[in-house]
């Protein structure tokens, strides 16, 4: 599988909805996506800037009898500059949605994650909630979801090496829109909002994130994908960039 130009990515956004909605036509779907990019931004021969990007993702969705849906998502991303790693992150996400064909559906989820370049040594979270589908037609779907989650984050300052452990309850909510434009082209976007009060720091911590995908099906097993992702933290644990984003394109092989 080949990837053209790749912007730096990260493991902050999990478009669970994309994998679930792309997969529920079959009892079991497994997809593997590999992306690679290499480019330079050298100003002179003496000041080389050569970048290499590499990522792998493995996604599995099991929906027996088209009643319940069990999702496992995994991803590893690595970026190197002049032989030195500058990005290194990964995640594993597990989710179960019960009676997903109904207008109201309960779900539970858990996640492990790290993003060492930004200082996130590990993030552990688990939660539950309800999904509501006010619009669910053959070509268009609109979903709202909300519920509590518990999050534990261990951060290390990239400047001083100081470490902090933050644990708090949060409201986890999201909005999903999916549109099958044609039989071979579909669009989906999911917006997440997570908020909780950190009593130890006396701060209201909020996170907003979005993942938007445009998929072009080339054959039954091969698709071309374009993805935009962003995330914003209003109160980072340590001073880091509050707003991050990525734009990717690549080929996806599904079975």
Give me the CATH number covering residue 35.
2.40.160.40
How sure is the predictor about 9, in pLDDT bands with cuts at 50, 70 and 90? Answer: very low
Q: Is residue 217 part of a domain?
A: yes
What's the total number of domains in the chain? 1
State yes or no: pLDDT of 7 exceeds 50. no
Q: Quote the pTM value.
A: 0.75
Q: Is residue 29 part of a domain?
A: yes
For 100, which DSSP code? T
Q: Is residue 11 part of a domain?
A: no
Q: Is residue 107 part of a domain?
A: yes
Contact of 94 with 20, CB cutoff 8 Å:
no
Give first-to-last CA distance, the chain, whole Å.
14
Instruction: Give the residue, 77 or 249, on which the prediction is more confident.
Output: 249
Averaged pLDDT for residues 148-171 = 92
Contact of 97 with 127, CB cutoff 8 Å:
no
pLDDT at residue 18 in the model? 55
Residue 20: exposure state from Cβ atoms within 10 A (0-12, 13-18, ≥19):
buried
Placement of tokens 């409201």 in the chain: 171
Averaged pLDDT for residues 8-23 = 47
Q: Is residue 9 part of a domain?
A: no
183 Rama sector, left if φ>0, alpha if ψ -120 to 50, beta otherwise? alpha
State yes or no: pLDDT of 56 exceeds 90. no
Averaged pLDDT for residues 167-196 = 93
Q: Is residue 6 part of a domain?
A: no
Q: Which domain holds residue 71?
A: 16-254
Contact of 209 with 192, CB cutoff 8 Å:
yes
Averaged pLDDT for residues 12-28 = 56
Distances (CA, A) of 91 to 184, 185, 235: 29, 28, 22
Distance CA 236, CA 89 (A): 18
Average the pLDDT over each of 41-55, 218-232, 237-251 and give the range with the smallest value: 41-55
Q: Is residue 10 part of a domain?
A: no
State yes or no: pLDDT of 25 exceeds 70. no
| Beta pairing, strands 243-254 & 104-115 | unpaired
Nearest one of 68, 58, 57, 59 to 24, comparing CA atoms:
68
How sure is the predictor about 3, in pLDDT bands with cuts at 50, 70 and 90? Answer: very low
DSSP string spanning 43-90?
SSSSS--EEEEEEEEEEEEE-GGGT-EEEEEEEEEEEEETTEEEEEEE
Averaged pLDDT for residues 101-122 = 89
Q: Is residue 4 part of a domain?
A: no
State yes or no: pLDDT of 11 exceeds 50. no
Q: Which token pair is 101?
A: 């064909």
Largest CA-CA distance found in the chain, in angstroms, rounded: 62
């Amino acid at each position: 599988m080949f990837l053209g130009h790749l912007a730096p990515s990260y493991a902050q956004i999990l478009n669970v909805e994309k994998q679930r909605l792309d997969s529920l036509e079959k009892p079991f779907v497994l997809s593997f996506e590999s992306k690679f990019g290499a480019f330079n931004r050298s100003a002179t021969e003496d000041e080389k800037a050569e970048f290499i990007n590499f990522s792998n993702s493995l996604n599995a969705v099991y929906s027996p009898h088209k009643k319940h849906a069990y999702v496992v998502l995994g991803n590893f991303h690595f970026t190197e500059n002049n032989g030195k790693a500058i990005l290194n992150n990964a995640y594993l996400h597990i989710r179960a949605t019960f009676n997903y064909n109904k207008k109201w559906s309960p779900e539970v989820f858990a996640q492990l994650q790290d993003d060492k370049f930004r200082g996130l040594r590990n993030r552990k979270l688990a939660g539950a909630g309800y999904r509501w589908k006010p619009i669910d037609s053959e070509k268009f779907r609109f979903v709202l979801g909300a519920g509590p989650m518990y999050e534990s984050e261990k951060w290390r300052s990239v400047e001083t090496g100081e470490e902090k452990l933050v644990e708090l309850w949060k409201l986890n909510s999201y909005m999903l829109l999916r549109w099958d434009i044609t039989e071979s082209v579909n669009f989906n976007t999911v917006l997440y909002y997570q908020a909780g009060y950190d009593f130890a720091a006396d701060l209201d911590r909020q996170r907003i994130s979005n993942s938007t995908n445009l998929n072009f099906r080339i054959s039954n097993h091969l698709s071309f994908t374009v993805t935009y992702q962003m995330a914003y933290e209003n109160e980072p644990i340590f001073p880091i960039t509050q707003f991050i984003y990525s734009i990717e394109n690549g080929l996806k092989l599904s079975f």
